[in-house]
Structure 1
């Protein structure tokens, strides 16, 4: 192995010498954690995918992932709309939210039965239940979407700020997945691509807020829920495809 092939920050200490395990510095651990989170958010953790379509399908979780993402919200919107009372200015919250959470429970039980990691099985259920609890507490159907606003705001801010300070989250994610660390920062082309990809992801999250927040303040639960679904996977999938294609261009498969 030549010096250029060794990971940065390591040096040989002599033949046969053992190198003690040294914990990574806090900054490196933080970058790795951010890279992992960004990879999940941008759907880049599609290991083994050989095509863009396969990568997008994996990022969405296949048919089960699509159903888990869409059905709870769809059930809430449909039932809330069907039970809407003009005099009360409200749909049946208990029924709408109960069915929505019930669907999330079914999916979680299926995942647990198939021995999926507990975090994957329960993460969506906890988020759905917490949102439903807030809506029941306030008595307002639109509050079922508050946690989604917080998530979009947090992700959008993180992607945008990371790009502006020169540490785009897409770069951290790709560096983590490609075992490259942060060496991509020494290549202007990669830095430009990762910058604009991170900005694009920030734009997606902020676009959701820009469109949906006015409906939230107007109390239009049906339109809000419908647009939440439309601006979910239908916008997520194309951006995953663009991101995946850009990464494949920067890291073409090695010819054997």
Structure 2
């Protein structure tokens, strides 16, 4: 029983929700309605405003303003501010580059660089046999804390890391040519399509791999327990 003064923990979101839940929830994976709005609205607003006005300053300021409002709202409601801060930095840098250069494509440059860094980092973690997703999974789900000692665990999270590395690499492969060609509108649309929808799809695949591993380990543990206790029970009989 919880004490009257204690407050229940909010439901898990993001990768934690995907690794610790028995059923996959799209909304939990993306951080709920607030996460969806904070992830999509700034870019969507820039794409729409720039498409119809061709005004880099207006589109950039409006997009940055939405991010700042989201950050203020999180502070006012005493919510976690880390996602909003990281978003504000990325949007702020993109807005600065776009306004400074007068080129709307500059708005997407920080995200493009971030995707490239993530892709390289994840691939390197696989090459050195320390797949990054395994450490994330162990951090949020204690059930797989021993994944490094299991060949099956290492294989599972190597594939999981490869999925995310592929996602980031694909983003760079599609969006970099659009950026260098100056196709700002197409770049914005590609960023939206390859954002939340692609993340949800890849995270669902990783969720299935993680859940299958946990179930196999639970089944093996149950079988081992039955084998260990059955001789004792037979002697008693």
Provide TM-score, normalisation by structure 2: 0.80
Task: Provide the residue aligned with 2:68 in structure 1.
Answer: 105
Match in the other structure for 2:194: 231
2:172 to 177, 200, 209: 209
Supply the distance in 2 between the matched residues of 1:71 and 1:173 (Cα, whole angstroms).
Answer: 27
Asked which structure has the greater RCO (Cα within 8 Å, sep 6+), the reply is 1
Shift of 1:99: 1.1
Q: How many residues align?
A: 206
User: Residue in 2 aligned with 1:123?
Assistant: 86
Q: Give the drift of 1:254.
A: 5.7
Matched, 1:240 2:213: no
Residue 33 of structure 1 corresponds to which residue in structure 2?
none
Aligned position for 1:44: 15
Q: CA RMSD in A?
A: 2.2
1:48–1:178 CA distance, 2 compared to 1 (3 A) = closer
Match in the other structure for 1:80: 50
Rounded Cα–Cα distance in structure 2 between residues aligned with 1:49 and 1:194 = 17
Unaligned runs of 5+ in 2: 1-12, 223-237
Task: Tell me the CA shift for residue 98 of structure 1.
Answer: 1.3
CA distance in 2, matches of 1:207, 1:48: 27
Q: Which residue of 2 aligns with 1:15?
A: none
2:43/2:192 contact within 8 Å kept: yes
In structure 1, runs of 5+ residues without a counterpart are 1-39, 84-90
The correspondence for 2:32, drawn from 57, 62, 67, is 62
Are the counterparts in 2 of residues 112 and 121 from structure 1 also a CA contact under 8 Å? no
Distance 1:210 1:222 in 2: 17
| Residue pairs, 1:104-253, within 5 angstroms | 104-179=67-142, 183-252=146-215
Contact 1:109–1:121 under 8 Å retained in 2: no
> Partners in 1 of 2:62 and 2:173 — Cα distance?
28
Q: Which protein has the bigger helix share?
A: 2
